Amino acid sequence: MVNVCLQDIKRRFNNVTAVEDISFEIPDGEFWVLVGPSGCGKSTILRIIAGLEMATSGKIFIDDRQVNNIPARQRDVAMVFQNYALYPHMTVSENIAFGLRMRKVDSARIQERVLTVARSLSLEHLLDRKPKQLSGGQQQRVALGRAIARQPQVFLLDEPLSNLDAQLRDDTRVELKQLHQDVGTTTIYVTHDQVEAMTLADKIVVLNQGRIQQIGEPQFIYAQPANRMVATFLGNPPMNILPTKFTANGFDLGGQLLPCPSGVKKMLHPVVGQEFDLGIRPEHVYINEPQRRRENREEEWGELGVEVRVVEPLGRETLIRAALLGTSVMMNVQVGGDMRLRSGDRLSLELEMDKLFVFDSATGDKVFPVNP
Ligand code: ATP
């Protein structure tokens, strides 16, 4: 097992800067996920680590050895792509064995290794088939098997589940997590799917427009997003963002007022006319919150009127998209699955104000709460 370290990596393509200021160190055996919207530079970073792309500047270390000038095949990393790129004329067994044969491992050892890997990925009954006789999920497991069989020092996975249907993606994700727990190889995983990022990662690196926005454990990033981009990217449904102007009576949202929590006042000293984006997660917005609970923590609640636009029943719960009255600002609300609502209904939402985030409306930086 090895660590992987990037120092100040930059990659330019002609006049396009794909990534910039990329620095992090992944300790031995950890599973890190690079996540962000399309074009944010995730694949470029992974390809630079693999040696498939040169960094314009900066240093790359694998196992404390600088590898900038070491060719891909000598870096001892295995990469799995979204399109599995199996050899169509080879059987599953031969595909899994391929990397070992290239390294001239003796055939008894190869056979043993193929069987072990096939068992760990539930492929042992498919060893004699060709790729075209397999489902997409099975093909992706073979691609993973081929990478695992080599026992590389580092796994690099680029959106390996994105071609699978939803059920298979969920199952394979769990298998991947189990596999990492068993094998413990340092792994870097690229995805734009925040659920994969949250569920798989020891640490998440959130990227946007070629730059790191935040690095941290999934729960920490969810609870303490560094900025508006991170706050709205992780979490489904995403955090509600409410543009507002501060007034003498609190936050003004298109004519409706939310009280300014005492903590915000003390920390931010907002001045009248100052603009912010307020953030509140859907799980902290309620309809019909019991009076008793509200009375206990009166100053920590705020109320907003909305009009329901879209109702999405999911069984156990229902998701609602509703417009803040008098504005085009949309909010996400989660209610119990037994609640009957229709487009056009007007509701009064209750907001748990001590769960409020405040972002600088110009930069998007989180200004409240400050990180512990
Ligand atoms: P996706 O999720 O869509 O795969 P990504 O986050 O992996 O995106 P990259 O593929 O790393 O993003 O691309 C980052 C930026 O660099 C993009 O703006 C892309 O257009 C640009 N880019 C990547 N490869 C090249 C290239 N060979 N030539 C020019 N521009 C490139």
Question: Measuring from atom 18 of ligand 1, which residue has the nearest CA?
Answer: 39
What pLDDT was estimated at residue 1?
Answer: 60
Q: What is the value of pTM for the model shown?
A: 0.92
Q: Is the per-residue pLDDT at 295 higher than 70?
A: no
Q: Is the per-residue pLDDT at 121 higher than 90?
A: no
Question: Measuring from atom 29 of ligand 1, which residue has the nearest CA?
Answer: 13
What pLDDT was estimated at residue 291?
Answer: 58
Question: Measuring from atom 10 of ligand 1, which residue has the nearest CA?
Answer: 43
Over residues 348-372, the pLDDT tens digits come to 999 999 899 999 999 999 999 987 6
Work out which ligand 1 atom sits closest to the CA atom of 41. Answer: 11
The residue among 175, 167, 234, 170 whose CA lies nearest residue 204 is 234
- For 162, other C-beta atoms within 10 Å of its C-beta total 15
What pLDDT was estimated at residue 64?
Answer: 92
Radius of gyration of the chain (CA): 25
CA-to-CA separations, 122 to 119, 126, 127, 142, 199, in angstroms, rounded = 5, 9, 10, 10, 22
Question: Measuring from atom 27 of ligand 1, which residue has the nearest CA?
Answer: 13
Question: Does residue 166 have its Cβ closer than 6 Å to ligand 1?
Answer: no
What pLDDT was estimated at residue 292?
Answer: 52
Question: Does residue 44 have its Cβ closer than 6 Å to ligand 1?
Answer: yes
Best substitution site from 22, 33, 42, 46 to test ligand 1's pocket, by max atoms within 8 Å of Cβ? 42
Contact 306, 324 (CB under 8 A): yes
Picking from 33-37, 55-59, 141-145, 241-245, which range would have the lowest pLDDT averaged per residue? Answer: 141-145
Question: Does residue 13 have its Cβ closer than 6 Å to ligand 1?
Answer: yes
Bridge pairing between strands 31-35 and 186-191: parallel
Question: Does residue 18 have its Cβ closer than 6 Å to ligand 1?
Answer: yes
CA-to-CA separations, 93 to 73, 88, 147, 225, 319, in angstroms, rounded = 22, 12, 13, 45, 46
HSE of 272, CA atoms in CB hemisphere, 13 A = 3
- Tell me the H-state helices in the chain: 42-50, 92-102, 107-120, 136-149, 166-183, 194-200, 218-223, 228-233, 262-268, 291-296
Q: Is the per-residue pLDDT at 168 higher than 90?
A: no
What pLDDT was estimated at residue 165?
Answer: 82
Q: Is the per-residue pLDDT at 22 higher than 70?
A: yes
Picking from 26-30, 116-120, 231-235, which range would have the lowest pLDDT averaged per residue? Answer: 116-120
For residue 311, the CA-to-ligand 1 centroid distance in Å is: 36
The residue among 228, 237, 231, 259 whose CA lies nearest residue 246 is 259
Q: Rounded mean pLDDT of the chain?
A: 92
Q: Which residue has the higher pLDDT, 173 or 251?
A: 251
What pLDDT was estimated at residue 293?
Answer: 59
Mean pLDDT, residues 151-156 taken together:
94
Question: Measuring from atom 16 of ligand 1, which residue has the nearest CA?
Answer: 18
pLDDT band at 312 (very low <50, low <70, confident <90, very high): very high
Question: Measuring from atom 7 of ligand 1, which residue has the nearest CA?
Answer: 43
Those residues with Cβ within 8 angstroms of residue 132's Cβ, 6 or more apart along the chain or in another chain: 88
Over residues 100-120, the pLDDT tens digits come to 998 889 999 999 999 999 988
Q: Is the per-residue pLDDT at 124 higher than 70?
A: yes
Q: Is the per-residue pLDDT at 314 higher than 70?
A: yes
Over residues 181-207, the pLDDT tens digits come to 988 999 999 999 999 999 999 999 999
Domains along the chain with CATH numbers: 4-227 (3.40.50.300), 240-368 (2.40.50.140)
Q: Is the per-residue pLDDT at 179 higher than 90?
A: no
Question: Does residue 41 have its Cβ closer than 6 Å to ligand 1?
Answer: yes
Q: Is the per-residue pLDDT at 53 higher than 90?
A: yes
Question: Does residue 38 have its Cβ closer than 6 Å to ligand 1?
Answer: yes
What pLDDT was estimated at residue 282?
Answer: 96
Work out which ligand 1 atom sits closest to the CA atom of 210. Answer: 14
Work out which ligand 1 atom sits closest to the CA atom of 36. Answer: 6
Contact 358, 239 (CB under 8 A): no
Q: Is the per-residue pLDDT at 213 higher than 70?
A: yes
